[in-house]
């Protein structure tokens, strides 16, 4: 008599890879900026947080956003793609808000954040990366 308990269940659908072609460069850039933002914010928060708490806290938030996007891109799949796209939109909003805020009220920022002046200290990558990410993730959904 056949063993029905050992019957093979249908295989789960494979996650769509988001890290192919230009997506690999996107993951690499997000990984690099994650390391930079985490290192910067960890150092600043641990050594001089009392000097500029707002910029250092915002840099830590940016680091968490970058880390989550990097993780989502590497993980792959439709849920991760949607989460990464939402985070890219939140990241772009943060860059635009903080970038504008640093120009309008520079006294509130005695030290720079990752998103200060629209990411000028990071070669404007913080303002370019989320736009590129959202376009890539949109393209991956259609492709």
Tens digit of pLDDT for each residue in 10-24? 555 556 666 677 788
Residue 15, pLDDT score? 60
Residue position matching structure tokens 């939109």? 89
Question: pTM score, two decimals?
Answer: 0.82
Q: Shortest CA distance to 25 belongs to which of 142, 117, 135?
A: 135
Whether the pLDDT of residue 68 is over 70: the answer is yes
> For 70-112, what is each residue's pLDDT tens digit?
999 999 888 998 999 999 999 999 999 999 999 999 999 998 8
Q: How far apart are CA 109 and CA 52, in angstroms?
A: 7
Which two three-digit tokens encode residue 12? 């789960």
């Amino acid at each position: 008599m056949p063993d029905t308990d050992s019957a093979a269940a249908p295989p789960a659908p494979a996650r769509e890879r988001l890290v192919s072609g230009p997506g690999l460069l996107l993951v690499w850039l997000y990984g690099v900026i994650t390391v930079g933002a985490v290192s910067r914010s960890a150092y600043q928060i641990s050594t001089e947080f009392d000097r500029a708490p707002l910029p250092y806290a915002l840099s830590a938030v940016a680091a968490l956003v970058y880390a989550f996007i990097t993780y989502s891109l590497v993980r792959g799949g439709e849920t991760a793609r949607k989460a990464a796209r939402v985070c890219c939109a939140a990241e772009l909003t943060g860059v635009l808000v903080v970038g504008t805020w640093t120009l309008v009220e520079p006294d509130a920022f005695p030290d720079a954040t990752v998103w200060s002046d629209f990411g000028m200290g990071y070669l404007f990558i913080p303002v370019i990366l989320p736009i590129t990410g959202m376009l890539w993730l949109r393209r991956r959904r259609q492709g």
